[in-house]
Amino acid sequence: MHFVRWLLTCAWLLIIGSLFFDPFTARFTAPDHPWSPLRIPQTCVEVQGRCLVETPYPLGTTVFWGAVVPASIFLLLVFGHELWRRICPLSFLSQIPRALGLQRQTRKRHPKTGEVRRQLAKVSPDSWLAKHYPALQFGWLFAGLCGRLLFFDADRLVLAAWLLFTIAAAITVGWLYGGKAWCQYFCPMAPVQSIYSTPAGLLGSKAHQSPTPITQSMCRATTAKGEEQSACVACQQPCIDIDAERMYWARLPTPAFAFERYGYVGLVVGYFLYYYLYAGNWDYYFSGAWARQPNQLDLLFSPGLYLFGTPLNVPRLVAVPLVLGVCTWLGWLGGRAIEAAMRRRARRQGGEPDTTLIRHRVFLAATFLVFNLFFLFAGRPLLLLAPAWVQYAFDAALVATSTLWLARGWHRDP
């Protein structure tokens, strides 16, 4: 597993490097390339009623958004967080301070003996961060998707700067706090991991049935003999890395968990819908032209909405967060409304509604729907270059996988 982490991290850093300098791949996108499926098409891609002018482009953004990001979502649903957390490059890089023995320590005085001891710094359970980290993570996720649409869907240098900033933030958090503080309290992918991999991934393990005390993606260290031992510092309780399902049932009743699930559905809908609201057609998205526009930053104050053949004088800088914010809010309202309707239905049938089971099943249905909606769009510009039978097989595999995941979790209970 250590080799796999290094391999994926190096591949990720290579992609980031290609965003700065890539003299090789643009040739495959030239309109006159004899065989490349990635060559720029001769057809017109309309944006707000005008044909988009396209030039050969390096493939860094296309590969990152079209292959890397969708692959991570698929891994989460199938294998759960326990695989993702062990191979995620950001999680791996955040542990550099621990590997070098450079983590921050605090002084603690024993109340009786007065002895002062140094201990690893951890997030206090009573701190603002411990109480509000779900909002922080979701806010960062929201900002990241707004940033994609505004700044770094196509601009390679801005995307590289964003990724390097995130790496620096992960390493800094790894120095400030022990354990997987970056993953638990800061990472913008954490809500996404929770949504797709809890209560369990399709092929995920059950922590309470583990033959060893080191479960799932729990922090661990390797001894000189090559044996794994626990390196847990109890940075969060309950912990998704130790027992994802226990964490799921513990957080299920909380308003923050409901907002995370339902708000995410609305956020995904709003994100993909915005491409249509901006360009006035779906060809703009499915052609992949959004990942190769050379002037993305120049469009910040251009009309951000195009409805009924008319551009609206709302700058993209305002339109993007407005559309995504409204859709996130509607997703949250919709999820709560469905829960309320199911509770009323249970009462009409003469029983007392099981609020835990109702929310659990609405969560599962929401995840099933948003997973298939996500893959209706994510990676599709690249997939459309493949033969039709490959596209059908891919779609069938996605629906079958998500259906099995839904069936596996439907009858689970605390």
Burial class (CB in 10 A: 0-12, 13-18, 19+), 311: middle
Burial class (CB in 10 A: 0-12, 13-18, 19+), 94: buried
Which residue in 342, 336, 334, 359 sits closest to 409, CA to CA? 359
What separation in angstroms does the CA of 290 have from each of 15, 57, 129, 204, 261? 19, 12, 36, 35, 27
How many whole angstroms separate alpha carbon 12 and alpha carbon 5? 10
pLDDT computed for residue 74 by the predictor: 95
> What is the DSSP code (8-state) at residue 240?
T
CA 87 remoteness from chain centre: 14
Structure tokens that stand for 382 in this block: 């690249």
Cross-strand pairs, 106: 119
pLDDT computed for residue 242 by the predictor: 78
Burial class (CB in 10 A: 0-12, 13-18, 19+), 388: exposed
CA dihedral 278, 284, 286, 287 (to 10 degrees): -160
* 140-168 per-residue burial string, b: 16 or more CB within 10 A, e: under 16: bbbeebbbbbbbbbbbbebbbbbbeebbe
For 106, phi and psi rounded to 5 degrees? Answer: -120, 160
pLDDT in tens, the chain (414 residues): 678 889 999 999 999 999 999 999 999 999 989 999 999 988 899 999 999 988 999 999 999 999 999 999 999 999 988 888 888 999 999 999 988 888 888 877 767 676 777 778 888 888 999 999 999 999 999 999 999 999 999 999 999 999 999 999 999 999 999 888 899 999 999 999 999 998 888 887 776 666 666 666 666 666 666 666 666 666 777 778 778 888 899 999 999 999 999 999 999 999 999 999 999 999 999 999 999 988 899 999 999 999 999 999 999 999 999 999 999 999 999 999 999 999 999 999 888 888 999 999 999 999 999 999 999 999 999 999 999 999 999 999 999 999 999 999 998 887
Structure tokens that stand for 317 in this block: 């800088």
Count helices and strands (H / E) in the chain.
17, 8
Compute the radius of gyration of the chain from its Cα atoms. Answer: 23
